Structure 1
Amino acid sequence: MTPFDLSLYLVLDPDLCREHSMVETTMAAIAGGATIIQLRDKEAGTDGLIRVGRELMQAMEGTNVPLIVNDDIDAAIAIGAHGMHVGQDDLPSQIARERLGPDKIIGLSIESEEVAQKVDRSIVDYVGIGPVFATPTKPDHKPAIGFDGLERLVRMVGLPSVAIGGLKGEHVLPVLESGADGLAVVSAICGQADPQKATADIAEKLKSARGHLT
């Protein structure tokens, strides 16, 4: 399987990436220290995702940063992406694994203890836990769980985990203190005037926080 590092997980947002395209934002973020990229665009349709995803794969070649596709398995396969992220209302993770094969990364959204207890660790490679805070980039999200909820679910799941939901650089330390391996961000990078600097600032906070915790 493609190695992956959840430390600084960028979820692309097409609306926020209007000034800098998703490809431009991605490459700036990777230069700044992003460790994994997720292509998420609920309005693009499969063909639109494939078009952008292939551009991303070409641009990201040689960076060793994986590209994950949100929700759309047909797009993930056509793109040749490194993996796929599924939510609770999306394609079952078992079907995703059957279609993608053993070498692709599969991530799963976890929003509650009930869901956490049902995760199949033989299928899922990592979990996205949240939302930690309410966020306008995903208006249909479940109730916010806060850092206490994040810590509880991290311990319960026992898989590599990334926190998501309204997170910014200032939240790095409490995210790591919860036991999560990293944080997923959207508006903290997408839509920023200088995406590379915005990413580098978060990467530096991660380095500092890890030093503080050791």
Structure 2
Amino acid sequence: MKLDRPFPYRLYLVMSEADCHGRDPLWVAEEAILGGVDIIQLREKGAAVEVFLKKAAQLKTVTDRYDVPLIINDDLKVAIRVGAFGMHVGQQDLPPSGVREAWSDCRLLGYSIERLEQLQSAEAALADYLGVSPIFRTATKTDTVSEWGIAGIRQLRGLTDKPLVAIGRMNRGNVAAVIQAGADCVAVVSAICAADDPRAAAADLKALINNAIAI
């Protein structure tokens, strides 16, 4: 998989089996891709390695079919064994330096920042993109200590050239504002995983993002 530009992704799906509310996660993922999702992160917090690995391998058959990158959240063993495209880590996870040291084949490494002072850290410098988390507080991410808001994205954009991925209660009502404030990409969970029609929801979000970029 070749990147046509440094960070070509606009709509980023973060998902787990629980996020799909009893529906087949592979079906949700495929529908989301068909609707316009550019990249998928599998986040299975608390799952045993073998369970996580099985789910990741199954999801990779879907993402590979459409040439969509699969990112693994905070599990180096799973990421390496499944042959993922990359990995995403947070402040309480294995740091980017540890990922780089252990996995030279990682093609895309994301790092969540929760406070402004973390932007200038050595760990943030090693990441390919920064997850700005959360833009707004959300039930799917309860271990954070701040809320960036639209103003936070705008401030970060003025301080770094790194790609910014906005996450945290992103939906059709705010994705355009986040992009216009300087985010490169929007990451969603419930807005697609919990939607009655994941493909239509993804298509709607992607259109809003593209329109905001064009303005």
TM value normalised by structure 2? 0.92
Structure-to-structure mapping, 1:48-127, within 5 angstroms: 48-120=51-123, 123-127=126-130
Q: Secondary structure at the match of 2:207?
A: helix
Query: Within the alignment, does 1:18 sit opposite 2:21 as a pair?
Result: yes
Relative distance call for 1:6 and 1:111 in structure 2 (3 A) is farther
SS at match of 1:106: strand
* Superposed structure 1 runs of 4+ greater than 6 Å apart: none
- CA shift, 1:45, in A, is 2.1
Q: Secondary structure at the match of 1:189?
A: helix
> Is it true that 1:197 corresponds to 2:200 in the alignment?
yes
Q: 2:152 aligns with which of 149, 153, 169?
A: 149
Count of aligned pairs:
212
Greater shift in the superposed pair: 4-13 or 82-91: 4-13
Task: Structure 1 unaligned segments of length 5 or more: list them.
Answer: none
Render the CA deviation track for 1:3-40: whole Å, top value 9, x for unaligned: 25331000003222133222111111000000110000
Q: Are residue 27 (structure 1) and residue 30 (structure 2) matched? A: yes
Letter in 1 for 2:176: L
Alpha-carbon contact 1:134-1:165 (below 8 Å) kept: yes
Percentage of identical aligned residues: 39
Query: Does structure 1 residue 8 correspond to structure 2 residue 11?
Result: yes
Q: Does 1:130 align with 2:137?
A: no
Which one is further off, 85-94 or 121-130? 121-130
Contact 2:87/2:106 (<8 A) preserved: no
In 2, Cα distance between equivalents of 1:117 and 1:159: 11
Which residue identity does 2:90 align to in structure 1? G
**Distance of 1:19 and 1:42 partners within structure 2:** 17
Counterpart-to-counterpart distance in 2, 1:141 and 1:22: 26
Seen in structure 2, the aligned counterparts of structure 1 residues 156 and 148 have a Cα distance that, compared at 3 Å, is same
CA distance in 2, matches of 1:131, 1:103: 25
Distance 2:55 2:2 in 1: 21
Partner Cα distance (1:10, 1:39) in 2:
8
For structure 1, which segment, 153-162 or 87-96, has the greater mean C-alpha deviation from structure 2 after superposition?
153-162
Normalising by structure 1, what TM-score? 0.93
Distance 2:2 2:89 in 1: 18
CA distance, structure 2, for counterparts of residue 180 and residue 119 of structure 1: 22
Matched, 1:47 2:47: no
Alpha-carbon distance in 2 for matches of 1:121, 1:92: 9
Opposite residue 203 of structure 1, the aligned amino acid is: K
CA contact (8 A) 1:19 1:191 kept: no
Letter in 1 for 2:103: L
